C-alpha cells in the first residue's frame, strides 16, 4: 500500500503485531532489537541486531528505512531528534517521546493543556527530608513515582506515612522522583487514540482495565457499568490529551474514574498499548494497523475505531509466564475449546510474570464474554437451571425477563416460560408488583437493560400497571400480558396495558396469552440471531403441519365422528 | 501450543495465511516452495527452496517437520504416500489428495457415497469421436472438463454443440477429459468443512460465491436470499462429502443451487479455500487456524465456525492483478477509507488476473456490507431518501417496514414514520391489504426478513387482519396498530389484532397509537445497538423534562390560569 519502509525501534510483541498488520498491507518493515526478538521471527527480511538505545544502531536502522517509529518509549530520544534534523521521518515526534518518557514532565505538559490529572509534586532531591516535604503537600497515603523507566507498576511505591519514607527511597533506588496525591478511583479506564500527521485524532471505545499485581490482567471493551456519557467523556479527555502532542501514531491513554464520576488522566504511552489488544479481533481496524496508517499518512476516520458490529463485545486476557516453561499454556489450552476466543502468543521464552501472549474473547454480549472468560480461567460457572421451578428469580445471564404482579399470575405466565425453555433461551422469572413493591419495580426497570436482557415480559391483571410502568423506566421492548381476573373478563387488564400514552410503548398480547409473549420475545432475539431464526421458522412450519394433520383427520373421519372422539 | 513442526507443500497466499495463524499459536512451520514465496516472507525460519512436486525436495521438507500438509492439491501424492509409510504424518491423507486431484475420480467417489453431483461421463480417449460419444450421453450444451490440474476455470470448456468439439480439444490440449451435464444453477454456494483426525467434522456457514471470468470475484457470508433450510442442507451435503474422505484438515466444498431448490456438489478442494477467506475477520476461528488445529489434533467444535457475533455479516472481495504494476492498489486505496473493510495483500508481484490479495468487509447487516462493497468498487450508490413523501414504498435498505391496509390509515400511521425519521432509522412505508391484495401480502411477509428488516409495523382498521396474517408468514416481530374506524370506536380493530391464537404473537399498541409502534420498533433495534440505546434514553429523559416543565408551570400559575391559557 505504500512504498515507504518503516523502521521500528524494538522488536517485542508490540512490534510483532505492527509487523503483522504491515504484512497485510504489503508495507515493508525493519526491526532494531536483539536477534530473534518476537517481531523478527515473523519477518524474513533483513533486520538490525542491536539496541534501541544505541545511537549507532539507530543510525544503522535509519539507513534502511524511510519512517522511524517505536514500540517502546524508553528509547534514545536525542538520537531520534538528531536524525529528524537530517530529514528522516520520526513518529511520534522525538519531542513527544521525550515529554512522555519523563512522567513528571508529561504531567506538567498535560496540566498546561488543561487536561485533568492528579495533583503531584517533584521530589527535589533523593533524600528522606525532600520526600517528606513533597509528600506532606498532598497528604498520606500518596504514591511516590519514578519519573522515568517505569512500567507495569515497577516505578511506583504507595507511601502510607512518614515511617515508610526510607523504604520508598530504597525501593525506587536513585531515580528522580515525584509524589502524587492518592486517587480513590472506582475503575481504571483506557482509550486508544490515533493521531494523523496533520493532528486529526480518532478515539477507540472506552475500555475498562483490571490490574493484578500492577500488571494489566483483563480489558473489557466497552467498559462495564459505566454510563454512556462517561464513556464519551473519557474519549474526549483522551483525544484532547493526544491533540496536545506532535507527530503521528497510536497512543494509549490510561485514566481513573473517581467516585464522583470525574475522570483523571493517569498516563500516556506513545505507542500501541496492552489496553488496545482487543481491537485486533473486535474493532474494524486494529490499533496496529491504525499505527501503520497514521505514520504513513494513510486515511484515518472515526468508524475505523468502532466495534466491528453493533453487538460486538470483547474481553482481553493477558497470558503471563509462570514458574515453569510453558506454564502459560494452561490458559491457552482451555481457550482452544472456548467459542469466540482467539489466542495471540508472542514467541517468547517463559519467565515468571512475563507477558507471553493474550487471548481475545468476542461475543454478542458482555455476559457471554464473561462466561467464556470464566471457562478459560478454569472457573466453573454453574449455569442457572432453566426450569420455572428452579430459577427462583435469577438466571445469571437471562436474555428475557418474565415478571408478574402477583403469584396468582404464575399459572398463566408459566406457559410463556415453558416456550422459552423449549427454545433454550436463558430467562429469569420473578414477582415485581407495581403497587406493592414500587421501589423494587423501579430498580428492576432501571437496571434490566444493563444486565444484558433483551426483552421484558410483564403479566398483570385488573388495573394492570406493571408493563407500562416498567416500560417507562427502561429502553427495552416490554411485552404486556393481560391476565384475566375474577371480573370484567380480562378487558380491564387489556385496556390498562394496551392504551399507553404516546411515548411509552407496550407490546400487548391477547388476554392470558403468555405463550405469544414468549414467542414475540424469541422473534426479537431471532432478528439478530440466525440460528434462532432457523429454529423459529421450523416451529412455525410444525404448527402448520399439526393443523394440516387435524384437517386431514377431520376430512377423513367426518365432523360428527371428530366431535365425538 | 504444540511442539510439532508443520511442513507445508506450497508457499502461496494460502500457505502464508496458515503460517500467520500458526504464529499466533506459537506453532512452528517450514515451507517448501520457491525462494521468497508469500508464505516464506512472513517467517524468518529456515525453509526448503524447491518444488512441491519433486520427491527429493519433499523428503527434505519431511526431515525438518513432524506433520506434512498442503496448500495446493497438485502435489506429488505418491511421494506423500511413501513418506506416510515411513511414519511421517500427512494431512489430509495422500489417498484423499489423489482422489481429489482427479476430478472424475472425485466425482465417482462422491457418487459411491451418495453425494448429489451432476451427471458426467468419461471421455475414453482424446479424439473428437470419443468426445462426441460422451457429450451425447448428457446432451448439449455440456461442460468438457480436464480431470486434472484444473483451477480457476482453466480446465473447463462449455460445449454448445458438435461443431465446437475440435475447439474444445484444442483448448484443453492433451489432458484426460470428462463431460458433465449442463447444470442450470441459480446460485453457487460453498461451505468450508474442517475434519479432525478422528473424522469429526465441523461446517462453516453456507456462503454464496460469485465468479467473474471463471475466477472467484466475491463471497457473501451467509449466502443472500437463500432459505434457512437450504443453507442448512448445503452444510449437510458438504459435511457428508468430507466425512467420506480420510485424513484431517480444512476442505472447501463448492456447490450449485438449482432452480428447483436442490443442491449439487460441484467440487472439493482439500485445503484452505478462497471461499473461506472471510472467516479471518468474520468467524470465531479462521479457516487457517482451523486447519492448523485439525492437523495437530487440537480441539474442533461447532461454535468455532460461527460468525463472531449474532449480527455479523461479511463480503470477501478478491483483488486481482491488472495490466500495470500495482494496478490492484486502486481497490485497496478506496478500501482504506471504508469502515469495516480489512485488506489482506499477499506480497506477490502484479500479473494480470493474478490473485494479489483480498478485502474482507464486515458489518451488522448484508445491506451495509453491500454499501461498503460499492464504495470499494468505486460505484456510487444513492442513499434512498428517508422522508415519508420520498419513500414511495421502498427505501433500499429499511430496518423497519410500515404497512397499512388502506390509504385511509396513512394519516394515523404517518406519526410513526415521523418518529422513525427523527431517529434516522431507514424504513419503508406502503399499502398491503390482507383482503384486497392477499397475494402481495403473502409475498411481502415471506420475503421481509431476508431483506434485512428487523421489525414490521402494520396498521389496520375494522376486521383488522393484516398484522396477524403478516405475523403468520414471517419470523420477525410484528407490531399491530388498531386504527379507529367510523363505528365501534376502534375496539373492533383492537380485538381483531390483540386476540391472536397461541403461536402467532402480534405486539399490539393502543388505538391509533402508531407513535408507540415506532418507538417499540426502535426499542427492538436499540437492544442490539448501543448508539441507538443512548439516543432512546435521551428521548425518554426529554419527555420527563417536558412533563416536569408543565408541572412547574401548573404549580406556578395555578390550575385556573393554566386552564385559561
Q: For B21-38, what is each residue's pLDDT tens digit?
A: 999 999 999 999 999 999
Q: HSE (CB half, 13 Å, CA atoms) of B431?
A: 11
How many angstroms separate the CA of residue A108 from the nearest CA in chain B? 35
Is B228 within 8 Å of A533 when comparing Cβ atoms?
Answer: yes
Only one residue has cell 526491526, namely A31
Residue A62 has pLDDT above 90, yes or no: yes
Burial environment of residue A549 by CB neighbours within 10 A (0 to 12, 13 to 18, 19 or more): exposed
Return the C-alpha cell found at A3.
512504498
Query: Distance (Å, rounded) from C-alpha A477 to C-alpha A479?
Result: 7
The partner residue sitting opposite A523, judged by closest CB among B299, B475, B529, is B475
Query: Distance (Å, rounded) from C-alpha B7 to C-alpha B45?
Result: 12
Query: Distance (Å, rounded) from C-alpha A265 to C-alpha A255?
Result: 4
Smallest CA–CA distance from B446 into chain A, residue: A537
In this prediction, residue A375 carries a pLDDT of: 93
In this prediction, residue A307 carries a pLDDT of: 92
Return the H-helix or E-strand segment holding A103.
Answer: helix A103-112
Query: Distance (Å, rounded) from C-alpha A201 to C-alpha B390?
Result: 37
Smallest CA–CA distance from A27 into chain B, residue: B347
Long-range contacts formed by B94-99: CB under 8 A, 24+ apart:
B95/B246, B95/B247, B96/B245, B96/B246, B96/B247, B96/B270, B97/B70, B97/B73, B97/B270, B99/B245
In this prediction, residue A71 carries a pLDDT of: 96
What CATH code would you report for B185-377?
A: 3.30.470.20
Query: Distance (Å, rounded) from C-alpha B32 to C-alpha B23?
Result: 17
The partner residue sitting opposite A308, judged by closest CB among B293, B362, B526, is B362
Query: What is the DSSP track for B433-460?
Result: -TTTSHHHHHHHHHHTGGGT--EEEEEE
Smallest CA–CA distance from A222 into chain B, residue: B530
Query: Distance (Å, rounded) from C-alpha A270 to C-alpha A256?
Result: 18
Query: Distance (Å, rounded) from C-alpha B93 to C-alpha A542?
Result: 43
Return the H-helix or E-strand segment holding B318.
Answer: strand B313-320
Note the pLDDT tens digit of each residue in B345-366.
Answer: 999 999 999 999 999 999 988 8
Return the C-alpha cell found at A484.
384475566
How many angstroms separate the CA of residue A55 from the nearest CA in chain B? 26
Question: What is the phi/psi pair of residue A190, to 5°?
Answer: -150, 150
What CATH code would you report for A5-90?
A: 3.40.50.20
Question: What is the phi/psi pair of residue A532, to 5°?
Answer: -65, -35
Cβ-based contacts of A509 with chain B (< 8 Å): 498, 500, 505, 507-508
Cβ-based contacts of B23 with chain A (< 8 Å): 20, 41-42, 347
- Tell me how crowded residue B452 is: count the other CB atoms within 10 A of its CB: 20
How many angstroms separate the CA of residue B433 from the nearest CA in chain A? 22
How many angstroms separate the CA of residue B476 from the nearest CA in chain A? 5
Smallest CA–CA distance from A301 into chain B, residue: B337
How many angstroms separate the CA of residue B85 from the nearest CA in chain A? 31
Contact A7, A69 (CB under 8 A): yes
Q: What is the mean pLDDT of residues A82-108?
A: 95
Question: What is the phi/psi pair of residue A255, to 5°?
Answer: -135, 160
Is B340 within 8 Å of A299 when comparing Cβ atoms?
Answer: no
Question: What is the phi/psi pair of residue A46, to 5°?
Answer: -80, 130
- Tell me how crowded residue B134 is: count the other CB atoms within 10 A of its CB: 21
The partner residue sitting opposite B23, judged by closest CB among A42, A506, A536, is A42
Contact A224, A232 (CB under 8 A): no
Is B454 within 8 Å of A509 when comparing Cβ atoms?
Answer: no
Residue to test with chain B: of A502, A512, A532, most B Cβ within 10 A: A502
The 3-state DSSP class for residue A426 equals: coil
- Any residues with CB less than 8 A from the CB of B256 and at least 6 apart, and which? B118, B183, B185, B187, B188, B189, B263, B264, B266
Q: Looking only at Cα atoms, what is the longest distance across chain A?
A: 106
The partner residue sitting opposite A503, judged by closest CB among B309, B333, B519, is B519
Strand A29-33 with A6-9, pairing: parallel
SS3 annotation, B477-537: CEEEEEECCCCHHHHHHHHHHHCCCCCCCCEECCCCCHHHHHHHHHHHHHCCCHHHHHHHH
Among A337-346, B212-221, B279-288, B554-563, the least confident range: B554-563
How many angstroms separate the CA of residue B177 from the nearest CA in chain A? 39
Query: Distance (Å, rounded) from C-alpha B288 to C-alpha B278?
Result: 11
Q: What is the mean pLDDT of residues B303-314?
A: 90
Smallest CA–CA distance from A338 into chain B, residue: B304
Contact A432, A441 (CB under 8 A): yes
Specify the fold of A400-526: Rossmann fold (3.40.50)
Query: Distance (Å, rounded) from C-alpha B457 to C-alpha B412?
Result: 12
Residue A538 has pLDDT above 90, yes or no: no
Cβ-based contacts of B506 with chain A (< 8 Å): 516
Is A527 within 8 Å of B476 when comparing Cβ atoms?
Answer: yes
Strand B400-404 with B455-461, pairing: parallel
Query: Distance (Å, rounded) from C-alpha A277 to C-alpha A275?
Result: 6
Q: What dihedral angle (degrees, nearest 10) is formed by the CA atoms of A401, A406, A410, A416?
A: -30
pLDDT class for A26, splitting at 50, 70, 90? very high
Residue to test with chain B: of A527, A537, A542, most B Cβ within 10 A: A527
The 3-state DSSP class for residue A70 equals: strand
Taking Cα atoms as reference points, which of B3, B25, B92, B84 lies closest to residue B272?
A: B92
Query: Distance (Å, rounded) from C-alpha B137 to C-alpha B335?
Result: 48
Q: What dihedral angle (degrees, nearest 10) is formed by the CA atoms of A534, A535, A540, A545?
A: 110
In this prediction, residue B380 carries a pLDDT of: 61
Contact A123, A134 (CB under 8 A): yes
In this structure, is the dihedral angle defined by the CA atoms of residues A542, A543, A546 and A548, taken in order, positive or negative?
Answer: negative
Q: What is the mean pLDDT of residues B528-535?
A: 80
Return the C-alpha cell found at B2.
504444540
How many angstroms separate the CA of residue B252 from the nearest CA in chain A? 22
Share of chain A above pLDDT 90, in %: 65
pLDDT class for A539, splitting at 50, 70, 90? confident
Contact B19, B44 (CB under 8 A): no
Long-range contacts formed by A297-300: CB under 8 A, 24+ apart:
A297/A196, A297/A197, A297/A248, A298/A1, A298/A2, A298/B336, A299/B336, A299/B337, A300/A194, A300/A196, A300/A200, A300/A202
Query: Distance (Å, rounded) from C-alpha B55 to C-alpha B45?
Result: 22
Note the pLDDT tens digit of each residue in A245-303.
Answer: 999 999 999 999 998 889 999 999 999 999 999 999 999 999 999 999 999 999 999 99
Is A530 within 8 Å of B42 when comparing Cβ atoms?
Answer: no
Q: What dihedral angle (degrees, nearest 10) is formed by the CA atoms of A367, A368, A369, A375?
A: 110
In this prediction, residue A16 carries a pLDDT of: 98
The partner residue sitting opposite B329, judged by closest CB among A1, A499, A530, is A1
Query: Distance (Å, rounded) from C-alpha B374 to C-alpha B380?
Result: 7
In this prediction, residue B527 carries a pLDDT of: 86
How many angstroms separate the CA of residue B555 from the nearest CA in chain A? 23
ipTM of the complex: 0.74
Note the pLDDT tens digit of each residue in A127-144.
Answer: 999 999 999 999 999 999
Only one residue has cell 460453498, namely B190
Is A23 within 8 Å of B23 when comparing Cβ atoms?
Answer: no
Residue A153 has pLDDT above 70, yes or no: no
Cβ-based contacts of A512 with chain B (< 8 Å): none
Query: Distance (Å, rounded) from C-alpha B137 to C-alpha A235?
Result: 69
Is B510 within 8 Å of A530 when comparing Cβ atoms?
Answer: no
- Tell me how crowded residue B379 is: count the other CB atoms within 10 A of its CB: 9
Smallest CA–CA distance from A495 into chain B, residue: B510
Smallest CA–CA distance from A478 into chain B, residue: B520
pLDDT class for B390, splitting at 50, 70, 90? very low
Only one residue has cell 449480527, namely B311
Residue to test with chain B: of A26, A37, A372, most B Cβ within 10 A: A26
Pick the CATH number of B119-181 from 3.40.50.970, 3.90.1150.140, 3.40.50.10490, 3.30.1490.20: 3.30.1490.20
In this prediction, residue B279 carries a pLDDT of: 98
Query: Distance (Å, rounded) from C-alpha A450 to C-alpha A474?
Result: 10
Note the pLDDT tens digit of each residue in A439-476.
Answer: 788 888 888 888 889 999 999 988 888 999 999 888 99
The CA distances from residue A114 to A98, A111, A267, A532, A552, in Å, are 20, 5, 15, 51, 79
Contact A130, A178 (CB under 8 A): no
In this prediction, residue A381 carries a pLDDT of: 52
Is B449 within 8 Å of A507 when comparing Cβ atoms?
Answer: no
- Angle, CA B301 vertex, CA B298 and CA B306 arms, to 5°: 125
Q: What is the mean pLDDT of residues B269-296?
A: 97
How many angstroms separate the CA of residue A269 from the nearest CA in chain B? 24
The partner residue sitting opposite B479, judged by closest CB among A26, A507, A526, is A507
Residue to test with chain B: of A309, A349, A500, most B Cβ within 10 A: A309
Amino acid at each position: 500500500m505504500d512504498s515507504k519502509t518503516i523502521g521500528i525501534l524494538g522488536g517485542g510483541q508490540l512490534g510483532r503485531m505492527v509487523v503483522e498488520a504491515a504484512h497485510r498491507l504489503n508495507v515493508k518493515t525493519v526491526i532494531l532489537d536483539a536477534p530473534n526478538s518476537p517481531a523478527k521471527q515473523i519477518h524474513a527480511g533483513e533486520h538490525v541486531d542491536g539496541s534501541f538505545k544505541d545511537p549507532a544502531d539507530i543510525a544503522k536502522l535509519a539507513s534502511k528505512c524511510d519512517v522511524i517509529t517505536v514500540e517502546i518509549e524508553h528509547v534514545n530520544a536525542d538520537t531520534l531528534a538528531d536524525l529528524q534534523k537530517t530529514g528522516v521521518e520520526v513518529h511520534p515526534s522525538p519531542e513527544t517521546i521525550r515529554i512522555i518518557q519523563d512522567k513528571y514532565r508529561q504531567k506538567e505538559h498535560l496540566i498546561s493543556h488543561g487536561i485533568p490529572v492528579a495533583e503531584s509534586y517533584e521530589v527535589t532531591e533523593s533524600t528522606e527530608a525532600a520526600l517528606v516535604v513533597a509528600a506532606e503537600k498532598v497528604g498520606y497515603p500518596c504514591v511516590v513515582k519514578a519519573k522515568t523507566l517505569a512500567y507495569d507498576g515497577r516505578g511506583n511505591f504507595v507511601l502510607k506515612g512518614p515511617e515508610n519514607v526510607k523504604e520508598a527511597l530504597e525501593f525506587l533506588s536513585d531515580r528522580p522522583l515525584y509524589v502524587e496525591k492518592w486517587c480513590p478511583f472506582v475503575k481504571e479506564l483506557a482509550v486508544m487514540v490515533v493521531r494523523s500527521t496533520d493532528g486529526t485524532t480518532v478515539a477507540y471505545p472506552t475500555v475498562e482495565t483490571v490490574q493484578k499485581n500492577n500488571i494489566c490482567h483483563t480489558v473489557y471493551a466497552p467498559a462495564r457499568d459505566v454510563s454512556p456519557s462517561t464513556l464519551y467523556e473519557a474519549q474526549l479527555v483522551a483525544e484532547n490529551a493526544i491533540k496536545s502532542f506532535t507527530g503521528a501514531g497510536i497512543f494509549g491513554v490510561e485514566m481513573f474514574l473517581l467516585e464522583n464520576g470525574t475522570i483523571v488522566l493517569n498516563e500516556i504511552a506513545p505507542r500501541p498499548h496492552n489496553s488496545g489488544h482487543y481491537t485486533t479481533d473486535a474493532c474494524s481496524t486494529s490499533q496496529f494497523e491504525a499505527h501503520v496508517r497514521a505514520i504513513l499518512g494513510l486515511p484515518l476516520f472515526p468508524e475505523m475505531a468502532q466495534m466491528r458490529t453493533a453487538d460486538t463485545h470483547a474481553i482481553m486476557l493477558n497470558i503471563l509466564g509462570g514458574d515453569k516453561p510453558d506454564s502459560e499454556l494452561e490458559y491457552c489450552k482451555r481457550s482452544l475449546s472456548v467459542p469466540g476466543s482467539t489466542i495471540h502468543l508472542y514467541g517468547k521464552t517463559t519467565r515468571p510474570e512475563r507477558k507471553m501472549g493474550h487471548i481475545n474473547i468476542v461475543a454478542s454480549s458482555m455476559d457471554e464474554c464473561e462466561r467464556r472468560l470464566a471457562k478459560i480461567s478454569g472457573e466453573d460457572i454453574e449455569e442457572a437451571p432453566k426450569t420455572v421451578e428452579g430459577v427462583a428469580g435469577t438466571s445469571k445471564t437471562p436474555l428475557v425477563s418474565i415478571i408478574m404482579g402477583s403469584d396468582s399470575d404464575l399459572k398463566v405466565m408459566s406457559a410463556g416460560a415453558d416456550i422459552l425453555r423449549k427454545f433454550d433461551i436463558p430467562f429469569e422469572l420473578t414477582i415485581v408488583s407495581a403497587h406493592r413493591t414500587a421501589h423494587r419495580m423501579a430498580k428492576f426497570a432501571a437496571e434490566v437493560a444493563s444486565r444484558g436482557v433483551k426483552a421484558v415480559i410483564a403479566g398483570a391483571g385488573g388495573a394492570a400497571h406493571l408493563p407500562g410502568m416498567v416500560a417507562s423506566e427502561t429502553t427495552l421492548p416490554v411485552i404486556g400480558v393481560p391476565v384475566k381476573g375474577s371480573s370484567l373478563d380480562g378487558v380491564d387488564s387489556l385496556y390498562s396495558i394496551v392504551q399507553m400514552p404516546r411515548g411509552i410503548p407496550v407490546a400487548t398480547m391477547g388476554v392470558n396469552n403468555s405463550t405469544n409473549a414468549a414467542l414475540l420475545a424469541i422473534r426479537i432475539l431471532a432478528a439478530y440471531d440466525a440460528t434462532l431464526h432457523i429454529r423459529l421458522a421450523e416451529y412455525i412450519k410444525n404448527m402448520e403441519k399439526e393443523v394440516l394433520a387435524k384437517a386431514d383427520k377431520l376430512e377423513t373421519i367426518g365432523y360428527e365422528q371428530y366431535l365425538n372422539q
